[in-house]
Amino acid sequence: MAEELSKLLSKQNEENLLPKTILYCLNPRDNEVLGTMIGNFQGEGMPGKMQFGSGWWFNDQKDGMERQMTQLAQLGLLSRFVGMLTDSRSFLSYTRHEYFRRILCQMIGRWVAAGEAPADIALLGEMVKNICFNNARDYFAIELN
């Protein structure tokens, strides 16, 4: 998958046709491929142009979400992540988004307790707000009144 995806994205990038893109995987074995691939095609002046999408389909459960976010944090910038998606199961997505936020906060809390992240509630609180709302609003240029 890596070679074919790299060729596709490279061709689009060379022709200045590569749009903002969110890559999702169905198999967690591909997490590292997507996590590193997005770093190859970031655009100047567009933070987080390429995104490694949240755990989805078979990965849309606690372990899958944690794996995806941990691997994104190890390979890229978790702080630029656009967070959980909503799909045709929109009504059920309300609880899924709440579950995602709890998993994210619990994971960051473990990192702080282990000394792997700063114990700075203002910094981490802002990062959580960005992941759960602001990054997606900015990425999709959603204007709110």
Radius of gyration of the chain (CA): 15
Domains of the chain: 2-139 (3.20.20.140)
Task: Dump the DSSP string for the chain.
Answer: -HHHHHHHHHHHHHTT----EEE--SSGGGHHHHHHHGGGGPBTTBTT-EEEPPP-GGG-SHHHHHHHHHHHHHHS-GGG-------TTHHHHHHHHHHHHHHHHHHHHHHHHTTSS---HHHHHHHHHIIIIIHHHHHTT----
Buried b (16+ CB within 10 A) or exposed e, 43-54: eeeeebbbbbbb
C-alpha to C-alpha distance for 124 and 144, rounded to whole angstroms: 24
pLDDT by residue (tens digit) across 49-80?
999 999 877 788 899 999 999 999 999 999 99
pLDDT one-digit tens code per residue, 75-134: 999 999 999 987 766 666 778 889 999 999 999 999 999 999 999 999 999 999 999 999
pLDDT range class, residue 39, cuts 50, 70, 90:
very high
- The model's pTM: 0.91
CB distance 59 to 25 below 8 Å: yes
